[in-house]
Structures are given as C-alpha cells and as structure tokens.
Amino acid sequence: MKISKIGELNFQKLKTEIHTTKEVKALFKKEKTPLSILIPTPWAWYDSELLEATDEDGDGRMDDKFGKSFKIIYITDNDNTREFEQEAIIIARTTIKGIRLKYVVLKN
C-alpha cells in the first residue's frame, strides 16, 4: 500500500505527520476536505485518544518510549490494516465529510 504525506500538525511538543493512500487523497480532493478537519479538536484527540494509548503506566503522561513524533495514516474502510498491526499505536474508524475511513497511528 503506497502512502504519501499530505500535511502535519504540531500540538504543544508533539508533531504528527498526516498521510493518506492515493485513493483517500483523491476522495479528500473531490470533497474539498481541508486538513483542519482531519483532527478537528487536536487538544481533545491528543489528551484523550492518543494519551490513552500511550500511557501504559497510568501516570497521566505519554510514556517516553513513544516519543513526541507520530504519523497518522488515513486509508479506505475497505483497506486491510494487517501490515500496520505490529507497529500501530491506534487503529480506528472514522467518518470525515461522509467518507468512511480507517486510520492508523504509528510512532514516527
């Protein structure tokens, strides 16, 4: 599966690159999807979903082993996530502008 970077989001000390497959990039272009809605409320996403997945010791902070740099890859709902399962911090589903997608979060 070929992916390419379409943007990045910096939040506090965290850096997140946003990648898509060719198919998702075409869907985003067709629907005129701005990068700003891919993570519409970054503070909530970082403080809840990402923190929950990276706070293995339960102290309320990301564990050092995850670092401060991440990669989110948006793929179609039909794409297989098997190739990401070993490295993935999060594999989830979402809907953006009526497009059903999966996304994978990896340590970058």
* Phi, psi of 50, rounded to the nearest 5 degrees: -70, -40
* Separation CA 70–CA 105 (nearest Å): 7
Tell me, what's the pLDDT at 69?
Answer: 95
pLDDT in tens, 50-104: 999 999 999 988 999 999 999 999 999 999 999 999 999 999 999 888 889 999 9
Whether the Cβ atoms of residue 74 and residue 19 lie closer than 8 Å to each other:
yes
Q: In 10 A of CB 92, how many CB atoms?
A: 13
pLDDT in tens, 34-44: 888 888 678 88
Tell me, what's the pLDDT at 87?
Answer: 93
Tell me, what's the pLDDT at 86?
Answer: 92
pLDDT in tens, 6-16: 999 888 888 99
* Separation CA 76–CA 28 (nearest Å): 11
Tell me, what's the pLDDT at 41?
Answer: 79
Tell me, what's the pLDDT at 11?
Answer: 85
pTM for the model stands at 0.90
